[in-house]
Amino acid sequence: MQSFTIRDIENLTGIKAHTWRIWEQRFPIFHAKRKESLHRVYDNEDLKQLLRIAFLYHNGWKVSKIAQLNAQAILEEVSKAEPEESNYKQYVLQLIEAAIDFNEKAFTSLLEEFIERMGFEKCITDLCYPYLQRVGLLWVTNRVIPAQEHFSSYIIQNKIIAETEKLNKPPQSPELLLFSPQGEFHELPLLYINYLLRKNGWGVVYLGINAKRDILQQFTSNPNLQYLFLHQITNFTHYDADDYLEILIKTFPGKNIVVTGTIVMNVHRPFTNLILLKSDQEIIDFITHHS
């Protein structure tokens, strides 16, 4: 059984810790457990109840009205409520609850419902990424079991792969090599970039995560290959970012090196043939304007 602090609850529900404290004092809506230090602590069942309360609150309910319901009535109201299309918080809260119980059917159904309403790309950018950001905040405090993040990432990745397979076949001659460097294992953003590139007509060679330089060299002899596109979040290359990019540029002269991810914030030296994409919009602009 996991335990969560009031700050964890704030991060997951989108409601300030101070507000939760006031509600607990004013309404018989929930009662946090207390450690010997008197700090509030919540278990999985507490979290699910608070997520349901937050769902109704974000759906326009007054907390005083929610407080009149028992736990079963709250669950029933959540089950029959229709999330507003403009209020993605409600979907995020439901995804979190499904992940807590490893409920693949519920998690997948929520994704499919959102895709039907808003489209696949909005599902990834406006639902899945915010969801993963909220869950990821708990890694700092070690309050989320890695299996829960792996559980949800696996489902989302499969959705991206399925949507990518629906696209038209790419050009026969590849022009871009897509990869994450050795030591980088975050594949979900790389898969989504692959989807966007292919959707916009790029010829892509997808090498995936943890790609060693000697593997890259086997593909770059193709004269039609113009770009090496790398996405990196963590830096386990054992190199300074500038040093690593300098090695790539010297190893692959004549190729354009495109870099996305948090690594771009650590690049300080000017390099020729280097394209740094520092925001989601810059990534979209590059993909749509260079195809």
Instruction: Write down the domain spans for the chain.
Output: 6-163, 176-289
CATH number of 176-289: 3.40.50.280
Round to whole Å and give the CA distance between 38 and 28. 19
Round to whole Å and give the CA distance between 103 and 152. 10
Round to whole Å and give the CA distance between 5 and 18. 13
> Tens digit of pLDDT per residue, the chain (291 long)?
577 888 888 888 889 999 998 998 888 777 767 666 657 788 888 888 898 999 898 888 999 999 999 989 998 888 787 666 556 888 898 998 899 889 999 999 999 999 999 999 999 999 998 888 777 655 444 455 567 888 999 999 999 999 999 998 777 778 999 999 988 888 999 999 999 999 999 999 999 999 988 888 888 878 888 999 999 887 655 678 888 899 899 989 889 999 998 888 888 888 889 999 999 899 999 999 864
> Order of strands, edge to edge, in the sheet holding 227-231?
204-211, 176-181, 227-231, 256-260, 274-276
SS3 assignment, position 206 = strand
Are 38 and 52 in contact by the 8 Å Cβ rule? The answer is: no
pTM (two decimals):
0.79
